[in-house]
Homo-oligomer: A and B are copies of this chain.
Amino acid sequence: MTGVTTAAAEPGPPAEKPRRARGEQTRQLILETALRLFRERGYAETTMRAIAKEAGVAVGNAYYYFDSKEHLIQGFYDRNQVAHRVAAEQILADEKELAPRLRGVLHAGIDVNAPYHSFAATFFKSAAEPSSPLSPFSRESSPAREAAIAIFRDVVDGSNAKLDPELRKELPELLWLGWMGVILFWVYDKSPDQRRTRRLIDGAVPLIDRLVSLSRLRVLRPALRQVLALIETVRKDD
């Protein structure tokens, strides 16, 4: 009992590796190489051996830093999330009406992802599996998800729209859910330049805007309550 034990197992996230400078560099190298090859050849066509060879490391080394081939995608994921945020802020700074704010943010999201449409379609497969860490609903994606919802909170809170306070509270998450739907549609969209997705956005936004306004109408009050109650009910448990 002579040595000073370095701050023993504190509670919290499942024990990250210390990761020194050299390791971090290798990790980045592998990630960069992988994303480049994914873009150049596609996801399925890029083998782990190819990534390792191109990066000049052993294949086992890639597995030291990434649990699996799928985990490499998380990097792509995070990067686009940031890009969307940046693009969104541009728009949100200039516009105060709810509808154009929402429309702008949605189009910006598609803009950011557009270069990766074909590649996204193949990796979407991974994201869809509920147990996958790539799933937008997974615990691992939680930070990225929160960040995405925050964008939509900005859309709502920064607008001059008057709406029911309870609806206001739920709206960001609902809009994010809608955004997931748009992404789903986009992934399946085979029209040139995914213009059907653009039309979907242009058509759906005024509709949402209208519904949100109507939500203050007397006749619709009970329906709104019913919707909010449903959300509440479904959320409980797990």
Contacts and interface: CB of A to CB of B under 8 A. Distances in A.
A233 B128 contact: no
Binding site secondary structure of chain A: helix
Contacts of A166: none
How extensive is the interface on chain A, given as a class?
A: 35 or more
Interface string A126-144: 1111111001010000000
A217 B219 contact: yes
Given A127-B128, A214-B223, 20 more contacts: A121-B130, A122-B131, A124-B130, A125-B125, A125-B126, A125-B128, A125-B129, A130-B187, A130-B188, A130-B190, A137-B188, A191-B238, A195-B237, A200-B230, A203-B230, A204-B230, A207-B226, A207-B227, A214-B220, A217-B219
A237 B194 CA distance: 10
A8 interface: no
A93 interface: no
